[in-house]
Chain A
């Protein structure tokens, strides 16, 4: 069974066994507006929790996407290069950014769960 956690930078991370998938939340996608370009990390790249991992460009501006937890990038969603609009259409599904092999599962478990994130978004 997979578990999903959220960051205060509006990334989500879903853990399925050893592999975690990262994307941006519906809230983030709506605030960014129409996504026109995504820069994805290369497989094998090591990322730190809170470190820059990808870039998303909307018509309005560029925003960094941070790794919710540290680890090694195992793959990236290359479909976004052709169809960046998937980030807006299905941010928490087909609009995922990259997959990670976590170096420390503890970094994952201390992130917000869905209820805590919903409360956080409401407080903004």
Chain B
């Protein structure tokens, strides 16, 4: 997404990013730090070793009020089955059943409303779409003014515990309201790195105070979008607009796990017949044999040179110390271990289909 500099928005942490030496770039209509002086490699490794603090306030937060079960009109996730105090991953489907976005939704204990977080670049469109589809049943209130911090890594729990006593007892995918450094927050034990960690939703005015308090911990380092991307790629997580978009259905995207069992049995979501049927292409993990990374857009060929797919995310995995990629291939080539070639600078780069995540998840179950 491109925007001219004068229309770029800023998160409540903009001044702090500059103070920390963040290299600011346009991203999804915002001026965001792609890296800090430490650089992507160090930021990535530090997150896996200690803890990284990410500003993800550009993402779209909001609350759904009314008959929240109506959200099942636009997602194949099990919404009604979500228990109090739990968060869940869902796909937002358009009428044709392809992927309009992916998002997180939460049921805070004792609250009727659902708390939603959608992607930054799609938030206006998503909210308009959901509002339209749920008209008369439920209403969605955007809270794009709220800030969202992610604290990720093995030292995240200890760091957050100091500012929010008791928080480290939470387990993966739990969500609750709590106070952090005196500020009211919605905290979930989730993230986008494959590590244990938290996402902390705050009033915009409290964000800088909380970020500074977290950064005061010697284990916590500020992390930019560059390392966020390499961390999520190693974790095998999709980036919307790249690995998933409106040309793919949930089955092609290998995201059938996000569809509730009840929903699969009922087949009551957009495009269910197509998604539940046979697919010609599938999203897979790819490990190149050598050290050369294959980037987004690189064509995938079989060993006879026939093009069988395309890389949708690719780069170098700092923790793996090797290149990693994901992409779509014809279903017949989607089995782990299948040898393929990635076309990089006109030359075939030997690679093989690999299971994801590339780096084991370390969630606190």
Contact = CB atoms under 8 A, between A and B. Distances in A.
- A interacts with B: yes
B39 A36 contact: no
B230 A62 contact: no
Contact of A36 (B42, B226, B293, B345): B293
Contact of B292 (A33, A57, A60): A57
Contact of A37 (B40, B41, B323): B323
A55 B323 CA distance: 15
A61 to B, nearest CB: 7
Contact of A33 (B35, B295, B323, B345): B35
Chain A: number of interface residues, binned into ranges: 10 to 19
Interface in B21-59: 34-35, 39-42, 44
Given A33-B39, A33-B40, A59 B230 contact: yes
Given A33-B39, A36-B316, A62 B323 contact: no
Q: How large is the interface on B (under 10, 10 to 19, 20 to 34, 35 or more residues)?
A: 10 to 19
Contacts of A34: 39-42, 318
A89 interface: no
B292 A59 contact: no
Nearest to A61: B295
Interface string A34-75: 101101000000000000000101111110000000000000
Contacts of A60: 34, 40, 226, 315
B345 A37 contact: no
- Among B40, B318, B323, max chain A CB count under 10 A is at B40
A94 interface: no
B291 interface: yes
A16 interface: no
Interface of B: 34-35, 39-42, 44, 226, 230, 291-293, 295, 315-316, 318, 323, 345
28 contacts: A33-B35, A33-B39, A34-B39, A34-B40, A34-B41, A34-B42, A34-B318, A36-B41, A36-B291, A36-B293, A37-B293, A37-B316, A37-B323, A39-B292, A57-B292, A57-B293, A58-B40, A59-B40, A59-B44, A59-B226, A59-B230, A59-B316, A59-B318, A60-B40, A60-B315, A61-B295, A62-B293, A81-B291
A79 to B, nearest CB: 14
List 9 tightest A-B contacts by C-beta distance, closest first.
Answer: A34-B41, A36-B316, A59-B40, A37-B291, A37-B292, A34-B39, A57-B293, A59-B316, A33-B39
Nearest to A62: B295
A27 to B, nearest CB: 14
A59 B314 CA distance: 10
Contacts of A81: 291
Contacts of A62: 293, 295
A37 B184 CA distance: 45
Contacts of B295: 61-62
A57 B39 contact: no
A57 B349 CA distance: 15
Q: Which of A37, A57, A61 has the most CB of B within 10 A?
A: A57
Contacts of A55: 345
Given A36-B293, A36-B323, A59-B44, 17 more contacts: A33-B40, A34-B39, A34-B41, A34-B318, A36-B41, A36-B318, A37-B291, A37-B323, A55-B345, A57-B293, A59-B41, A59-B230, A60-B315, A61-B295, A62-B293, A62-B295, A81-B291
Contacts of A61: 295
Q: By CB atoms of chain B within 10 A, which of A34, A59, A60 has the most?
A: A59
B273 to A, nearest CB: 41
Contacts of B39: 33-34
Contacts of B323: 36-37
B232 to A, nearest CB: 13
